[in-house]
Structure 1
């Protein structure tokens, strides 16, 4: 993991005030007036549902959830803060990565390690986020910073559930979760093919198509593939990748669907050594070693998804996935910047990890009605088997002159002793129950209870010892939603979370959250406005003693805040996504000098605004779409002791343009960081935020 950096160099108070105020005003605007204005211009259509999930390829406003069997189907009726990044939003903004996808989502901070791109880095409500795929945890801990970077082209949408809640999907950090929804076959012929060229010799092509194999739609298929060949922003860097995914869906009756998806993901990239503090070097300056600069990932997965309706209100759903993953990286870490001269010390840093996981979840759901009360009961069981082997190297490297860099070559890992050689296995079994009561179409009460049993074994091959630990944790969730009107709901929730500590001798880290909020979904236009206030506490925090390298438990971290979000088709052809987040974190650590500090890498203020406007053709020209966005990130501390300096606020603009050159064919232009905003994100060296990148895409759909 990267270590904290120094502060950025540029303050933007004027633009900060403007963007923050505008975003807050949009999110809290007189919604009724907007709806009245829109009602005369927009015909609001019911959402299209494919395989139980809303088809959001034509809207940025999601109304339902893929994991509705656990906490409710409709977002308006769900007691919790949820954001959905639809397929249309991903395409409109030209999203290339998970971090880009999350940049306009309330409660989420991304890109706090800049050009260090070994993993996807993002936090929700001040804590690391846990990642899932179709409701099944990815990897071991599931934290984004411990898993390979996902390719968003493989997914229909991304669902962001904020706050502590282990009862839904299993052990997780309290900040929240990101759920990737896999592309599966449809019951109709469809497809798209695209080609992209762009900055840094970026070349990319992809296809996604499917059809029925039988006239009655009993058997359908889907093929998704992508290949990318690109350089990175720095010298001697690359960003290549491949994705191949195929799926079959079998529907022997209207009551049963069985889908099997196999996919292969491979990436071949590089990362950054960073730059020395107190210098003003160009972004492309490379102070690592060209022969020792790689980030490789390879994953093979097989997924099974089953749904069956027994009739009489009883349904079964289940899914399972097997992953086999290999990942490695080799890079240079810079030492401290010398007070005199231009020679800086360096170290080789490398890791090689291979692992596999099997994750299965099965649940029964029963719906019935008692008078004015509709009852939904879900009971389920989950099994996870996860294991990995990892080795790490950290050794000295020749120094380099940053004004006249001379490269000296890489490191032969086969002839170098690792500092770490560990094997770890985790086996988790869980039982859970979810109960929901809908009372008189006005009150919705949701209750959840889950118990996890986890057996962990870790072998340290260098020390020749084995450690074991057995964890047993019960977590609960309570939610109440009040339907003030069919369009407006208010809710309150209490939820708990738990995740094993990285050191087996320590107790698990636990979280508790209280949240209240409101949601508004006007009938006059397709939109969803939401506001939430939360109070989140994480206990039994694991920290490392810098003098001994040993980990220990401390007190707790508290995170409080406010989230505002608006996703709307405001007028005919005009779409809007706006978000504002305020987070106040505090370390409640009585056993160290950190008590009272803020959590590192967590800004107090985040704001964003994206607008998309389509200008209809007039006979002489075809449809044109214009997109413009702005993202504000406030200041944050770079280190846990709050002594390593503070970053400076930054506003980054994005833009997009699309023109329908022919029926079902569009040419689009996307620009991220339009004005090439340049600042240090903070860390062990200077890591700049990604610079301006321009891409052009031709896309054909059918």
Structure 2
């Protein structure tokens, strides 16, 4: 299933939020202290408005281009929140961190985030492969659902001001999703002042890239402003007969007729022309990564997507604001390639021929989604209250054809290519028509500026219709699903907070099947010192997911697992020390168990879930002296423990550690030269063994960039 419902809408720039909100209803007032109820006749006090010039659709108060330590987020729900007080585990990757690490893909963006495993499919480049707490996440853009990373579009990180990672279940905040977590992409929106940058990048695999991001006010009073962002890339991948080309352009207009109203329109086009993989490497061999065992004439991976977004905000005053966003997108994508599928591999030294298969998919989709909500904030005595009520509508249509036939075997010692398949008939041809309606309520109460109680309720009505065009049959299903979230956060001091939460998730995997349901219990602690920008978090969780649909090689047809339970620990730190040292650290432990009484996998670990993961990234800036400009040195290490490649737990990876490095030199005030190296020592390991072939982790890549800002 591609997509079933929508998520949350993040607040837009120049929205005024106040530090308190409405006590939502009489039932919630009953939880207030007796001293508060004795003053029911008192007129509510609305705190003085605070205007926040947000850096993007998140409407956050952070300048994401200047810091790696975010303080606010909308990832836990549709209400902007202080990360310290939010009863959830949230990681924010700002645009500064993305640029410093030279992240070229979403996988690279989230590599240093606790609880996230990346690159578990190795040299298969079709999707953004990462999991949060052991499960594939749903992704959102400005709070509106995009879909699962598996089978979805590979997003362009340069389009976003920040990327917010919420760990754990939260269907009440985002809509129908899986329990491991979710990711919200915050779009770059026009600002009210002049700014800009242009850059050029070159490096490994004949990589050539240029990009720009600039904007200004179109009127003297700043009521109308624009932003234009683009990236154009021509490159190969690290294997023969490959390419990795991209055209991305995004333009936005923001109109602010008053300080209380903001209307933004954004159009973006994403075009990719790449190749899906090298076809895998024969099992039992150890060839270089650049060896190609697919078919040069049947090796494509394309994306063509146009998106139109509208974001509207209005502040009525007295604590009441209205926010609405809508998006229409239309895309076409497809891939086709030949890959090795030979369970014996190179077990027989005399047999150097391996079997292969042709595999492909062509898909078109169209989506319209709209979300609207009211946020009312007020302050009663020592209680701050925020109440949000909203509704959402999502319509999604797609057509998908999948192909799978045997391909000629190939001699891996002396490859001879056979070309495209003579004819391809789909083994699956499916048309999906999905409509989702939802209403939701979120209520936060903060007592004496220390204890925050958070409640979220959401009901989704899912109308799903799936047509099998080969069989001429149609299946349909109607679902009504209620999800809940409860959280408590207590500020021990202004710098230290503890929290606990319970959250649910629900996501039907396909028409006519039982919904995939999840729930999570979590406790955690957060520390944000006043002395310098930093955020330290630790959390322990217990989450389960039921009625899971999995996809196993070679053709990845759906199979069902009854229940999966993950219990784990996440530790994360982001620190900007006064002596020009920045640090990002993460550690994760996951105890993964498949639970299906009497089933073949009972007691096994879920595939692609390492027990241990750790990462550390640090930078040191040597300040300029005389004619020499600032120099920043960066070094990182990523450790991934061993994990099983399959749910049967018959094949397992080796633990591995990969190093990254960066160097930036400020040539002059607004001109920088930057070098980024991923996999510094060219460490090589098997990231995926699907039973028919090996897929290695990405090799060393070196990129140099020249950047001019204003």
Distance 2:659 2:649 in 1: 29
Distance 1:642 1:239 in 2: 34
The question of 1:61 aligning with 2:69 is answered yes
Secondary structure at 2:325's aligned position in 1? strand
User: Given the alignment, which residue of 351, 355, 362 partners 2:361?
Assistant: 351
Q: CA deviation at 1:68?
A: 7.1
> Structure 1 residue 67: deviation in Å?
5.0
- Conservation of the 8 A alpha-carbon contact between 1:506 and 1:552: no
Please tell me whether the aligned partners of residues 55 and 64 of structure 2 are also in contact (alpha carbons under 8 angstroms).
no
Residue 499 of structure 1 pairs with residue 507 of structure 2 = yes
Distance 1:101 1:568, change over 3 A: same
Question: What is the distance in 1 between the residues matched to 2:640 and 2:569?
Answer: 15
1:466 corresponds in structure 2 to 474
Question: Is this contact kept in 1: 2:285–2:346, CA < 8 A?
Answer: no
Residues 1:519 and 2:526 are matched in the alignment: yes
Aligned to 1:376: 386
Are the counterparts in 2 of residues 71 and 78 from structure 1 also a CA contact under 8 Å? no
The answer as to 2:211 corresponding to 1:206 is yes
Partners of 1:209 and 1:589 lie apart in 2 by 54
What does residue 567 of structure 1 align with?
A: 574
Distance 1:410 1:548, change over 3 A: closer
8 Å contact 2:76–2:173 — kept in the other structure?
no
Are 1:584 and 2:591 counterparts? yes
Tell me the distance in 2 between the aligned counterparts of 1:463 and 1:547: 23
Report if the CA contact (8 A) 2:75-2:166 is conserved. no
Could you tell me which runs of 5 or more consecutive residues in structure 2 were left unpaired when the two chains were aligned. 2-50
Structure 1 equivalent of residue 515 of structure 2: 508
Structure 1 window deviating more from structure 2 (438-447 vs 677-686): it is: 677-686
Change (3 A) 1:252 1:550: closer
Q: CA deviation at 1:416?
A: 2.4
Unaligned runs of 5+ in 1: 2-45
Q: Distance in 1 between matches of 2:130 and 2:561?
A: 23
* Equivalent position to 1:399, from 390, 399, 409: 409
* Partner residue of 2:270 out of 262, 265, 268: 265
Contact 2:76–2:90 under 8 Å retained in 1: no
1:237-256 equivalence runs, <5 A: 237-256=242-261
Cα deviation per residue 1:362-407 (whole Å; 9 max; x = unaligned)?
Answer: 1001011221111110000011100100001111111111011111
Shift of 1:621: 0.9
Quick one: which of 298, 303, 317 aligns to 1:297? 303
> Which among 450, 457, 464 is matched to residue 449 of structure 1?
457
Aligned to 2:152: 147
- Match for residue 286 of structure 1? 292
Instruction: Find out whether 1:184 has 2:189 as its counterpart.
Output: yes
Task: Return the TM-score normalized by structure 2.
Answer: 0.90
Which residue is 2:330 aligned to? Answer: 324
Aligned to 2:602: 595
Q: Distance in 2 between matches of 1:97 and 1:549?
A: 24
Q: Which has the higher contact order (CA 8 A, sep 6+)?
A: 1
2:615 equivalent among 585, 597, 608: 608
Q: Distance in 1 between matches of 2:649 and 2:704?
A: 42
The residue number in structure 1 matching 2:432 is 424
Q: Map of 1:113-132 to 2, 5 A cutoff?
A: 113-132=121-140
Q: What does 1:544-693 align with in structure 2 at a 5 Å threshold? A: 553-643=560-650, 645-684=651-690, 685-693=693-701
1:554–1:591 Cα contact (<8 Å) kept: no
Match of 1:235 among 233, 236, 240: 240
- 1:541, CA displacement in angstroms? 2.2
Change (3 A) 1:260 1:58: same
Instruction: Give the whole-Å Cα distance in 2 for the aligned partners of 1:651 and 1:679.
Output: 10
Cα offset, 1:506, TM superposition? 1.6
1:538 to 536, 545, 556: 545
Aligned residues: 651
C-alpha deviations, 1:128-160, integer Å up to 9, x for none? Answer: 11111011110xxx1101211001011111000
Q: Distance in 2 between matches of 1:255 and 1:59?
A: 28
| CA 134–398 in structure 1, closer or farther in 2 if over 3 Å, else same | same
Q: How far does the alpha carbon of each residue in 1:585-634 deviate from its partner, in whole angstroms, 9 at most, with x for none? A: 10111151111001110000000000011110011311100000000000
Q: Secondary structure at the match of 1:681?
A: strand
Please report the TM-score for the alignment, with normalisation by the length of structure 1.
0.91
